[in-house]
Amino acid sequence: MHEVEIGQVTDFFAKPVVAGIHVTGDVNTGDLVRIKGHTTDLEFVLASMQIEHTPVSTVHAGDLIGIKVPDRVRQGDIIYKVIE
């Protein structure tokens, strides 16, 4: 398995537990992703994504998206797609 960088956390909202992501690579719902930072290390299947409150299943470099995350993430954390 290896990881490909696909974006960076720009915002975090505690209720609901959502992260704003600036996307730098293609990603789809159902992909296994990992968010890593100084104190962050989460791995989960990307269940849903939204662009301006509209659900989407595929995003591309340059998109600004919101995703549900299982725990707190921080601005500047990097998101990777895990490829088996």
pLDDT tens figures, 30-42: 999 999 999 999 9
Give me the CATH number covering residue 46: 2.40.30.10
d(CA 16, CA 23): 20
5 pairs with which residues across the strands? 80
- Tell me the per-residue pLDDT of 14-32, one tens digit each, with 9 for 90 and over: 999 999 999 999 999 999 9
Q: What domain count does the chain have?
A: 1
- Give the domain extent around 68: 2-83
14 token code pair:
């505690």
